Amino acid sequence: MKKFDLIGMRVMNTQTKSIGRIEKIEDGYLFISFHGDLVRFPFPACFTTTLELEDEALQEELEAESADSSFDAFKIKYRSAVSNEINYLRATGGKKYRAIDGELLPSQNGETIYAFDTDTDLHFPDGTAIKIWFPEKIIPAYVVSCEEFTLVIRTLENLGNSINMIEFTAEQWQLLESLVERIDEMSPQSESIAYEVACKGRNQINKNKGVTCGQNFAYRRATSEKVTFIWGPPGTGKTETLANIALDHIEQNKRVLMLSYSNVSVDGALLRVAKKYDCDEGVIVRYGYPRAKELVEDNRNLTSYQCVLNKNPKLAKEYQELTSLKKKLKKKSPERITITRKLAQIREKLLLEEKELIQNAMFVATTVSKAVVDRTIYTQKFDVVIFDEASMAYVPQVVFAASLSKHHFVCLGDFCQLPAIVQNNTDDRLAEDIFHYTRITEAVENGWGHNWLIMLNVQYRMHRDIANVVNKYMYGGRLETSDEIYASRNEIAACEPMSNAAISMVDLSHTYSVCTKTMDGSRINLLSAMVCMKLAESYLNQYEVGIITPYSAQARLILSMIRDMKEKDKRYSQLTRAKGKFILVANRDFMYRKNISNKLIFTKVMDSIKKNNASLGGDEIIKYLSSNNKKRVAIYFDSREDSFDKFCKDLEAATKRIQIEIPGIIDEDDDALEQLCMILNNKEGEGVDVTIRLDEDLILPEELQKFARYGYTTTPVTLIDNTIIWFGHPISAAEFFSEGELLETESFPCARFEGYITGRSLQAFLEI
């Protein structure tokens, strides 16, 4: 229709109910006079969001035109944002991963294949393109296999027989290119729910009511309305609610697709649904690459591949034989590559059957990344699509997920938790999550309701004191704690240290607790890691223990320690979330000197702990941790003086290598220095490689100067035979500066840990 045909028509603002008259249309805007006041609206988008004509037929025509216009604007915006991220990743490679101890493997067909150890359990699909970054050049390679902390790659150049370490990036931009394709394919006519989410969510704020709360309300809306957003803070039963919603739809013979940003979330949701629903094989299916042990070692055939494999007895037998043989081989055995390829060939033979299974299953769970790239998913339409952990996904990923739904779209998440990860910091459009995009966050912050939003407001996980802190500083007082968990959580809070304090602190002030920056820009703190693991060790006979850190390198260091400890004690497995006791391990003085914001929940928690006198510090830490030194402990803790003899015995037992890092002065203990000099000189005489790295302005005793290697050091650590790690020795007396002020070291804890994986990780982190 022509624009001038609208001039003079009466129109109603559906939000304010005001009646006005159209005065003019120019430069993409519609100008309306409301009793003499001229107000402009975007044209034609305003006819799907705000304005309504008396002429119903004309209104429908304008709505259709408006839908195309507003959806096109959405597509243009996010096509540009995703393209910018792609260009950035192509130029820089994006996130860098590290692999160590590379070995060239024998190959029958002339391929150059290497096996590496990794400090995290990476999960790249076979065939993933990667780039290896050397200072002088970039070498392309491909993933042959990636499992159990072992990465096998095929390189296009020979890198030598052994490689100490590589840094590599995966070609993540390829997934984003597929996302751009999916964005381009969507239209408001064929993907009406995607259009609703992309273009109408911002107009669903209801200022006349507050946030609607309760699991029952969430369940009712998600099983009856077209679009539902469920805000689920920690411990509020989000996965349980998801499972109940899915089961209701399944029982109504509706097919459900469950998506999430992470494999862990997908696994958890599927297992919860399967636990609640006893059904035939192939009804509930996990598609993709599960991480949960219950699915990897699947007895119910919940994974799509295992399900179709079992329908082919001959191939199933061959698969089982190959898998059993593979487990018996060393991780870097060349035979594993051959077996891996044979297993891939079996999977290829069953690909069509697997796709057919997915097309008929009633409940399919997979990651949004797989859904974006896999035709088996994105060419289908499901009656219901459920998206979990939505705050961690890009807005176009969520809208794409909504495009796969015919009748219902349910979006779950917590906008107070982790946001989406964006590498390109020059374009922040992808950093905005779907809750912000639809103005749900704005509504909550102002105490308003949002027509699509239901909050789960009763938590069943945390001790009330922990929940109260979270509630006060993150959830605006909306979060309640169930009385059902009171007794069990109190029992945990009663544990030492700081008995009966659900929230406490191990304060590393006045110790040499220094962070070391790693090559990838992350940080490690060896003393903090040792303290955390020692605390964890003291609880393992009774409770699950989780360790959380803001730095990926620190997480990898702790994971290395867990892997070493698992070799001796199977209790060391996965990390979890706080239920009954939260212990903050930090250097309070250092943090305060950094002038961190008082608005941060971290600062508020530290202030609260200090006010309640619920912290352990200085020599109290040594006394408490050393009291847990039983005969067989993974981590030994004691004072500098009381641990020196044990340290010397380890030096005397060295057979290959002693590496010492001295970031500051050695304590002026003549007897100890004399003993140290004697031991190190004796070990050199026995053929042990001894090195001492220290700053150039430090002076070693004359008897030790021949071992000196000058360079930047930050951590007082000794590594013996790449396996035994001592923090704080030899008799360190180091101090450090923060914000121009000296932080004196008054307490000298020393810790010992034994493990090759951790030793090797430390060598890489500290570039020893």
The per-residue pLDDT for range 358-384, each reduced to its tens digit, is: 999 999 999 999 999 999 999 999 999
pLDDT of residue 90: 87
pLDDT, averaged across the chain: 90
Query: How many of the other CB atoms lie within 10 Å of CB of 609?
Result: 23
Contact between 316 and 309 under an 8 Å Cβ cutoff? The reply is: yes
**Could you please report the per-residue DSSP string of 682-703?**
HHHHTT-EEEEEE-TT----GG
**pLDDT over threshold 90, residue 698:** no
R_g of the chain computed on alpha carbons: 30
Mean pLDDT of 227-247: 96
- pLDDT category at 300 given cuts 50, 70, 90 is low
pLDDT of residue 572: 61
458 against 64, higher pLDDT: 458
pLDDT of residue 578: 67
Mean pLDDT of 404-410: 98
pLDDT of residue 123: 84
Mean pLDDT of 505-518: 92
Task: Output the 3-class SS for 86-142.
Answer: HHHHHHHCCCCEEEEEEEEECCCCCCEEEEEEECCCCCCCCCCEEEEECCCCEEEEE
Q: What whole-number distance in Å separates Cα of residue 605 and Cα of residue 9?
A: 59
Could you tell me which residues are beta bridge partners of residue 152?
A: 115, 145
**pLDDT over threshold 80, residue 1:** no
The two structure tokens encoding residue 88:
């950035």
Encode pLDDT of 28-81 as tens digits: 788 999 988 899 988 877 887 788 888 888 887 777 776 677 888 899 999 999
**pLDDT over threshold 80, residue 641:** yes
Encode pLDDT of 328-364 as tens digits: 888 888 888 889 889 889 989 999 999 999 999 999 9
The two structure tokens encoding residue 537:
């060790």
The two structure tokens encoding residue 579:
């239920």
Cite the DSSP H helix spans in 494-550: 526-539
Encode pLDDT of 460-481 as tens digits: 999 999 999 989 989 999 999 9
**pLDDT over threshold 90, residue 266:** yes
The dihedral sign for the CA sequence 138, 139, 145, 150:
negative
Percent of the chain scoring above 90 in pLDDT:
60
Q: At which residue do the structure tokens 């359990």 appear?
A: 121
Percent of the chain scoring above 70 in pLDDT:
97
Cite the DSSP H helix spans in 140-288: 173-185, 192-199, 215-222, 238-251, 263-276
pLDDT of residue 692: 94
pLDDT of residue 217: 95
Mean pLDDT of 724-744: 86
Nearest to 51 by CA among 70, 68, 69, 66: 66
Q: Are strands 37-42 and 29-34 parallel, antiparallel or unpaired?
A: antiparallel
Q: At which residue do the structure tokens 């982790």 appear?
A: 418
Residue 229, exposed/middle/buried by CB under 10 A (0-12, 13-18, 19+)?
buried
Residue 761, exposed/middle/buried by CB under 10 A (0-12, 13-18, 19+)?
buried
Q: What whole-number distance in Å separates Cα of residue 131 and Cα of residue 135?
A: 13
- pLDDT category at 527 given cuts 50, 70, 90 is very high
Q: What angle do CA 395, 401, 402 make, to 5 degrees?
A: 90
pTM as predicted: 0.86
- pLDDT category at 571 given cuts 50, 70, 90 is low
Residue environment code for 375-411, b if the CB has 16+ CB neighbours within 10 A, otherwise e = ebbbeeebbbbbbbbbbbbbbbbbbbbbbbbeebbbb
Nearest to 747 by CA among 395, 472, 510: 510
pLDDT of residue 577: 59
**pLDDT over threshold 60, residue 576:** no
pLDDT of residue 415: 94
Whole-angstrom CA distances from 309 to 287, 313, 317, 650 are: 14, 7, 9, 52
